[in-house]
Structure formats: C-alpha cells, structure tokens
Structure 1
C-alpha cells in the first residue's frame, strides 16, 4: 500500500466550490484508505494499492462526473513529497516571504515553465525534482510575482498546481501519522 498526497487544481477559487466533507464522501467510493483532507483548497492524503497514474485517473474521473468541472489533479507519492520538501531552499515560515512549490503531473510542462521563467528578469526559482519547482514571493504580493504570473497561464492549467511550503509540510505530517 502506497501513501499519496493529492493536490487538486483550482478548488474553492474561480467558481469551483467543493466542501471538503463532500470531497471526502466522493473519494470514499474509490479503493482508498486513510483519506484526509487538509485545509479547504483541495489537498488530500490517502493510501492506495494503485500507481500514482492510476490514482490520478480515478480521482479526475470521479471529480468530473460527481462535481461537473474540468478536474486536474497532481498526485505525489509520500517519499517524493519528502524529497521535494527537503530540497526546498526557501523558508517555510518567514514574515517577509512566502515560499511556494509548483507541482506538476507532467515534467515536460515543468521543463517548459522553468525555461520561460529563466528568461524573465527577477523571476527567482529552484527546480526541486522532475515534479516540483520552488519559488519565493514577497508576502502579500504573490500574484505580482513574475513566477506566479507565468505559472498562472492557461497552458499550465491541466498539469500544474501551486501550494505554499507550509501546506506541503502539513501533508507530509499527515502522511507520517
């Protein structure tokens, strides 16, 4: 049985509103165990006897059918999440800076994102793994960050989602417990 963190793109923003209790109830119809949601932004931890790709497909299909929206999910295995967090050079708790990690289900899309980001003056980022790029933003001005503006483009919608480092740490704690 493998442990996973699932990160749903665009939940409870932009008109896609899901109550976490409804999400958990829907996920209970899948062959998952130890399902927990974190915060209200589409973060789930669970265990399953399927591959990450199979889990991604099952969850996206379920969400599309049950909640009628164009669902996109990034699935990260627990050991990979731990290595992503360990590789992040930015602080989890800093009053002036918020540390973000953009996660992707498609390393090629993340390669492209990194390539474009490297061409933007002032865009600071670090590739953490094939699935993750970390980047800092001045507290309170995340949406003005060069990397945030780039990663928000429609091109990356189906393959990426961004979380602050504190959320990843919380998912890691839930997976360890």
Structure 2
C-alpha cells in the first residue's frame, strides 16, 4: 500500500527536520520507496503493514524519539490524497485565493471541524466538506487572519488535522 504521512507543524515554530533525516527515519522503520516533498513534512512511502493505526502510532513515536518533539501526523493512502485533490471544489488557478485541503485524522474530526466553521463569520472564505477532508478557499491576503485560519491554529485541532495548499497536494500526488 502506498501511504502519505503528513506531519503537523514541521519546519515552522521551531521544529526543524531536514528532508534527508525524514527519509532516513522512514526507511529505518522498514518502509520502501520513501520520498519527501518540499520542506513541510510530507513523506510518501510504501508498506506491507495492513493496520493504518499501527503505522501512524509507530511513525509518531519514532519521530518523537528521533527529533525530540511531540509528533502528530495524518496518515492517508496515496489514493485518498489523489481523490481529495481530484474533488477540489474550487478553481485552483485563481491567483486571488488560496485553496487548501485540511486532512483530518478521521470522519468525526472532519465533521466537528465542518460544524465549527458554521459558527464562524465567513467573508469571502468558502469551506466545504470532502472525502475525509475539509476544503478551504480564502483570499490570499486573509489566510492567516481569517476566522477559519485562526480556528485551525487552535490547539484543539493540533493532533487531528493538518493542512496543505493544493499546489503541495499536486506535487505529492504526481
């Protein structure tokens, strides 16, 4: 099975991990075809292990032990990542807006995040549920200041979500 580990909070906020070190760690865990994408904690690999929860726990523990931080990842299959990309409901060529895919650890998290966004002022933001994800489209100038952007930054979502710009998702999926 081909997986993508999406690390939360890497190379921001003082947690710096080089791509070469990530590749070495994942290969050391017995994964094959390990590749990293960009410097934001994206690792694509193959594994014969059948239990996703075990892979996630093992990877988080290894990251924590090796790099000395409390690691959180969202683990998706490559097919799930490609489906999220393919079903993006926004125009990714629109340069006035950023389109993001918020990957969620499970359906409960996704549903809670979608419900929470109903209570926030929207402005020009658009937020829509997708297959295991939440899609977010926001004016470029408002990404970090938007109500939803601030909500995503809350500690409540730290362990169960991570977001990627659609351009990053496209690079991982290629």
TM-score > 0.5, shorter chain as reference: yes
Which category of TM-score, normalised to the shorter sequence, fits these structures?
A: over 0.9
Q: Check if 1:11 corresponds to 2:13.
A: no
Match of 2:108 in 1: 108
Match of 1:160 in 2: 161
Partner Cα distance (1:9, 1:60) in 2: 11
Q: Which moved more, 1:2-11 or 1:51-60?
A: 51-60
Unaligned stretches of 5+ in structure 1? Answer: none
CA RMSD of aligned residues (A): 1.2
Secondary structure at the counterpart of residue 28 of structure 1:
helix
Match of 2:76 in 1: 76
Structure 1 segment 36-55 matched on structure 2, within 5 A: 36-50=35-49, 51-55=51-55
Match of 1:56 in 2: 56
With the length of structure 2 as denominator, give the TM-score of the two structures.
Answer: 0.93
Partner Cα distance (1:62, 1:155) in 2: 23
Structure 1 segments of 4+ aligned residues over 6 angstroms from their partners: none
Match of 2:129 in 1: 127
Unaligned stretches of 5+ in structure 2? Answer: none
Pairwise CA distance, 1:61: 0.8
Q: Which moved more, 1:89-98 or 1:68-77?
A: 89-98
- Tell whether the 8 Å contact from 1:113 to 1:150 is kept in structure 2 after alignment: no
Secondary structure at the counterpart of residue 126 of structure 1:
strand
Aligned residue pairs total 171
Secondary structure at the counterpart of residue 115 of structure 2:
helix
